[in-house]
Amino acid sequence: MKQEIIIGTRDSQLAMWQARWVLEKLQKLYPRKRFFLRGMKTRGDHILDVALAKIGDKGLFTKELEVALSVGEIDLAVHSMKDLPTRLPEGLIIGAFCQREYPGDVLISRHGLTLETLPPGARIGTSSLRRTAQILHFRPDFNVTTIRGNLTTRLRKLEELNLDAIILAYAGIHRLGHDARITQLIPLDICLPAVGQGAIAIEIRADDPEIQDLIRPLDDPGSRATITAERALMRKLEGGCQVPIGALGQIQHNQLLLEGAVASLDGRQLVRDRISGPPNEAEQLGEELAARLIKLGAGGILEKARQEFDLE
């Protein structure tokens, strides 16, 4: 049995917080083992001046960690679930879907105003096409500006760029202790989160049953089912972080309720639908909802979104 276990993650503040959270849980469960944290840079951490959608690379924030995991330099990789592509490299699996935090997005505005009360033409900063499209659908008058960088950088840009508000995931803000800056929890019927948002993923080697057993207590069946459905939907729609897709699975009365939305970049077109069924059919529910969204016009919207980005 291994006595020393190396946990890899990105070296951003949020990633380190999440990996330390995993480390502390494991250390409590296995006081005799020694756990180490290794922070690594990914390509996504190097390219900071380009909009995410334009880099459009699968595994931008995960690849270097996956290489280290595959060759055994680390024993497990801790990621934000939403950074993890829907298809993993050969030989790697999600060993644990950790209990999800509140999955939605939040508005942080400078004068305490909400999506409803911000003035016409307000300047909103976000890094995601999904947020842009859904927010513009609700408030077509907003001026949306791209901001990138880690959480602290983005919070700073609210002031520096003289924006009226920025939109971020609740989970990241909460984990880094910035709750006091939240102006509004953005209603889920206005903006569906990114697939997997708010959850921490532990990626491991498929042929490592010892580590699989070790992390099993950190797996949350509800989060596993709901996020599996979201990821199946995403896979079927072939979206990555470069496409405006929102999805959210929830367990209600022992049923899995899955909602999904696809919107055009300008927010004019938006299709949204839901499906529910038994949690053990998560994968099929995701695929079925994807098929329904395509029938409602998602295919055309996505095709156009991809073209617009290739042309720029």
Q: Is 230 in the site for ligand PBG (CB under 6 A)?
A: no
Residue placing its CB nearer to ligand PBG in the complex, 13 or 269: 13
Which one of 76-84, 116-124, 270-278, 301-309 is the stretch in contact with ligand PBG (CB under 6 A)?
76-84
Task: State in angstroms the smallest separation of the CB of 3 from ligand PBG.
Answer: 30
Task: State in angstroms the smallest separation of the CB of 118 from ligand PBG.
Answer: 19
Figure out which of the listed residues 10, 82, 148, 236 binds ligand PBG, where binding follows CB under 6 A.
82
Task: State in angstroms the smallest separation of the CB of 169 from ligand PBG.
Answer: 4
Task: State in angstroms the smallest separation of the CB of 198 from ligand PBG.
Answer: 5
Active-site residue, selected from the candidate residues 11, 57, 75, 83: 83
Chain mean position to CA 127 = 12
Question: In this structure, are residues 115 and 190 in contact, taking their beta carbons and an 8 Å threshold?
Answer: yes
CA neighbor of 35 nearest in space, from 43, 46, 26: 26
Q: Is 85 in the site for ligand PBG (CB under 6 A)?
A: no
Q: Is 12 in the site for ligand PBG (CB under 6 A)?
A: no
Residue placing its CB nearer to ligand PBG in the complex, 35 or 61: 61
Residue placing its CB nearer to ligand PBG in the complex, 64 or 287: 64
CA neighbor of 246 nearest in space, from 169, 172, 178, 312: 169
Residue placing its CB nearer to ligand PBG in the complex, 77 or 171: 171
Figure out which of the listed residues 9, 42, 62, 80 binds ligand PBG, where binding follows CB under 6 A.
80
In angstroms, the Cα distances linking 35 to 8, 23, 69, 213 are 11, 7, 15, 16
Task: State in angstroms the smallest separation of the CB of 52 from ligand PBG.
Answer: 7
Crossing angle, helix 221-237 and helix 282-295, to 10 degrees? 30
Task: State in angstroms the smallest separation of the CB of 74 from ligand PBG.
Answer: 19
Residue placing its CB nearer to ligand PBG in the complex, 106 or 288: 106
Q: Which of residues 135-174 bind ligand PBG (CB under 6 A)?
A: 168-169, 171-172
Residue placing its CB nearer to ligand PBG in the complex, 85 or 198: 198
Chain mean position to CA 239 = 13
Q: Is 234 in the site for ligand PBG (CB under 6 A)?
A: no
Q: Is 64 in the site for ligand PBG (CB under 6 A)?
A: no
CA torsion 193-194-198-200 (nearest 10°) is: 170
Residue placing its CB nearer to ligand PBG in the complex, 171 or 191: 171
Q: Is 83 a catalytic residue?
A: yes
In angstroms, the Cα distances linking 194 to 66, 84, 160, 259, 261 are 21, 11, 27, 11, 10
Question: In this structure, are residues 88 and 201 in contact, taking their beta carbons and an 8 Å threshold?
Answer: no
Q: Which of residues 167-226 bind ligand PBG (CB under 6 A)?
A: 168-169, 171-172, 197-198
Task: State in angstroms the smallest separation of the CB of 250 from ligand PBG.
Answer: 16
Q: Which residues bind ligand PBG (CB under 6 A)?
A: 80, 82-83, 168-169, 171-172, 197-198
Supply the residues annotated as catalytic. Answer: 83
